[in-house]
């Protein structure tokens, strides 16, 4: 990992404290990935593998199910990791601007409050909605869940994890330098990763993921967190934080982006090939497939993340109209989408249609409804301060 203080890829590196304008490309990307989260959960509704509240069509060996499983597998490789990368990037800037104490207070408000609301209200509501498919009464189920003291973090596990990461970041700063900063800490935030470092990071991430999944297999939750996926989340969050001062993700070298995009394209078919080869060659199933999956994820993720970061920032120099409002509503959409998505799917559960059509229509309608509801919520001053 190299250090660069004066210039990078032809751009003068500015200190975080002097950079306050929003990056339109990153804001647009974050909004689009939020909508992708909605479609990811919609794919699970109609045949993909994954944890979700409502499964209208169970996974099987059909073409539709296989395509949706592949769609979710690729998403899982990069989209939440991209959120953590951006979170790490903005965490460094936020702490520099606000200081550790105010930063943590802000995180508790913007992450902790929505987590509590979702866990105590929206999560149980979503569970009760999904239970109506089996003939269970909505209000009866909801009251039962509340009496039981159910806390359902759902997709707000991301907020829960970010709270832990934020606390760990502040603690790490304090351990390294106290509250006033030091040259050593400044250097840790001027990092610019070379291709060699990205390769090493991918290999170490794969090895760490394999080790974590030997203890907590995919699908196993610990305090509402799937720790088997956290190797890449930690690495990408740390990368976002460590490169924030150099603004690496804002000025990506074109050759680096192209290289890792090619690597992602080469790696992409490897997992499905090994999976389907497991039918004639059973020895490829089990641990060999787990090894391939663990190392496949970062090799695919690095390339997709870099090409998206580069492409969105090249295209979006400012956000107007729909893009501006979508960016502003993205966090709210992320929070409220589970009950909306389940509700939309349930509305036409008895209408026969192809899974692909249901996936496209339900996902699109859910995104539109979430967009409208988010706009209404943001009209309320109390919600606007948090969301």
pLDDT band at 167, cuts 50/70/90? very high
CA distance 97 to 100: 9
pLDDT at res. 190? 67
Mean pLDDT, range 363-372, rounded to an integer: 98
pLDDT at res. 324? 95
CA distance 304 to 307: 5
pLDDT at res. 5? 34
- In this predicted model, what pLDDT tens digit does every residue of 258-285 receive, in sequence order? 999 999 999 999 999 999 998 888 888 8
Residue 182 pLDDT > 60: no
pLDDT at res. 174? 84
pLDDT at res. 264? 97
> Which of left, alpha, beta for 194 (phi over 0: left; psi -120 to 50: alpha)?
beta
Long-range contacts, stretch 65-71, CB < 8 angstroms, 24+ apart: 65/355, 67/356, 68/43, 68/44, 68/355, 68/359, 70/272, 71/40, 71/43
Which one is predicted more confidently, 281 or 197?
A: 197
374, two tokens: 């988010």
Residue 178 pLDDT > 80: no
220, two tokens: 């196993």
Residue 217 pLDDT > 70: yes
Backbone angles phi, psi at 3, to 5 degrees: -115, 135
- In this predicted model, what pLDDT tens digit does every residue of 85-110 receive, in sequence order? 999 999 988 998 899 899 999 999 99
Mean pLDDT of the chain: 90
- In this predicted model, what pLDDT tens digit does every residue of 7-56 receive, in sequence order? 323 323 333 334 447 899 999 999 999 999 999 999 999 999 999 999 99
């Amino acid at each position: 990992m190299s250090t660069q203080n004066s210039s990078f890829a032809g751009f003068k590196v500015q200190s975080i404290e002097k950079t306050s304008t929003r990056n339109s490309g990153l804001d647009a990307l974050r909004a689009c990935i939020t909508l992708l989260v909605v479609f990811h959960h919609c794919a699970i509704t109609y045949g993909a593998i994954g944890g979700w509240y409502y499964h209208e069509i169970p996974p099987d060996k059909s073409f539709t199910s296989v395509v949706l499983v592949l769609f979710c597998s690729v998403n899982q490789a990069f989209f939440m990791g991209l959120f953590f990368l951006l979170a790490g990037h903005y965490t460094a800037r936020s702490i520099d601007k606000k200081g550790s104490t105010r930063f943590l207070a802000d995180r508790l408000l913007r992450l902790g409050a929505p987590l509590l609301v979702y866990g105590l209200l929206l999560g149980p509501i979503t569970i009760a909605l999904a239970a109506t498919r089996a003939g269970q009464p909505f209000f009866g189920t909801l009251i039962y869940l509340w009496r039981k003291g159910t806390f359902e973090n759902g997709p707000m596990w991301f907020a829960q994890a970010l709270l832990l990461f934020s606390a760990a970041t502040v603690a790490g700063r304090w351990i390294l330098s106290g509250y006033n900063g030091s040259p050593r800490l400044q250097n840790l935030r001027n990092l610019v990763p070379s291709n060699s470092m990205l390769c090493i990071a991918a290999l170490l991430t794969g090895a760490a993921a394999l080790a974590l999944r030997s203890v907590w297999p995919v699908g196993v939750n610990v305090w509402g967190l799937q720790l088997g996926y956290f190797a890449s989340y930690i690495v990408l969050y740390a990368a976002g934080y460590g490169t924030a001062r150099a603004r690496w993700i804002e000025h990506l070298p074109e050759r680096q982006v192209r290289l890792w995009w090619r690597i992602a394209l080469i790696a992409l078919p490897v997992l499905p090939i090994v999976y389907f080869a497991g039918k004639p060659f059973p020895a490829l199933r089990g641990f060999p497939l787990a090894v391939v999956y663990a190392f496949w994820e970062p090799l695919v993720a690095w390339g997709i993340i870099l090409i998206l970061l580069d492409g969105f920032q090249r295209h979006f120099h400012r956000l107007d109209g729909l893009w501006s409002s979508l960016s502003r509503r993205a966090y709210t959409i992320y929070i409220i989408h589970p009950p909306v998505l389940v509700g939309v799917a349930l509305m036409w559960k008895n209408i026969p249609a192809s899974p692909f059509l249901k996936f496209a229509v339900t996902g699109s309608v859910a995104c539109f409804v979430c967009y409208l509801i988010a706009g209404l919520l943001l009209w309320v001053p109390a919600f606007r301060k948090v969301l």
